[in-house]
Amino acid sequence: MRISDECYRRDLRRLQVAWQMILLGARTPTIMRWTRLSKYNVRKLRNEYGGDAVPRERLRGKAPFRVEFFCKSATLRAETPALVGLLRHFGALPAASEVNVEELPDLMRAERLCTALEEFRAICPTSEIDFERVVILMKEIVRGELIRVTTCSMHRELVVHDCLVAREPSCAHCWRERHPGLAYVRSRTKTTDMPREPDTDTAAGYQQSLF
């Protein structure tokens, strides 16, 4: 009787984690891999118990796989370290030498991943980082070949650095400061200590040119 009770609790736990992953937008193959449920059980859970909480349109096509996504904008450069911090805080992201990529999908780790992602979405509700990209991020950090977690070369801030880029690790603020073509970068150029009084004739010329 103890064995049957333990099996029941384990199966119920798998279904609960799978339901969390469905609500967070995970694909069916990802749910199968992390919970060890069959495709039939995942689809039945999604279709029969989803209701209005789950969109009927399934994600089709190839799952995202490019790690350059996390460095393509200053916003993502700021959000990704925050997500990594939450993954580490809740114990979902192991150390680089603790496990390999094949051992990463695990039921307990899936629970912690869902908790971390829920907290992250409460902080950044409009973020572009979805469930599948979180899985990619975790895999590549554990692998340590394309991206790694380090600190900014100018500030003591956590950053996710692209290992294939020759430049030094930089946080979102430093990246935008160095990025060419941003208007606010020109506005932050150094000025003299004593401001100079504007030339009346020059100011009048500017005003005339506007009209």
Whether 101 and 142 have beta carbons less than 8 Å apart is answered as yes
DSSP character string of 49-64: H-GGGS-SSPP-SPPP
Using the structure block, give the residue that is written with the tokens 């401001």.
195
Whether 31 and 14 have beta carbons less than 8 Å apart is answered as no
| Per-residue pLDDT at 13 | 92
Q: What is the dihedral of CA 153, 156, 157, 159, to 10 degrees?
A: 30
Q: Whole-angstrom Cα distance, residue 33 to residue 37? A: 8
b/e code 30-45 from CB counts within 10 Å (16+ = b): bbbebbebeeebbeeb
**Mean pLDDT, contiguous 10-residue spans, the chain (211 residues):** 64 92 92 94 85 59 72 84 92 83 92 96 93 92 80 73 66 64 38 43 39 33
Whether 159 and 81 have beta carbons less than 8 Å apart is answered as yes
Overall size of the chain counted in residues:
211
Other residues' Cβ atoms within 10 Å of the Cβ of residue 172: 20
| Per-residue pLDDT at 88 | 92
Q: Which pair of tokens denotes residue 143? A: 């692998």
Q: Could you give the count of Cα atoms lying within 13 Å of 170 in the half-sphere of its Cβ?
A: 16
| Per-residue pLDDT at 171 | 67
Whose CA is closest to 161, among 68, 64, 65, 66?
68
| Per-residue pLDDT at 211 | 33
Enumerate residues 6+ apart whose C-beta is below 8 A from 109. 34, 91, 92, 94
| Per-residue pLDDT at 207 | 36
Write out the E strands in 127-174. Answer: 147-151, 158-162
| Per-residue pLDDT at 110 | 96
| Per-residue pLDDT at 190 | 40
| Per-residue pLDDT at 187 | 33
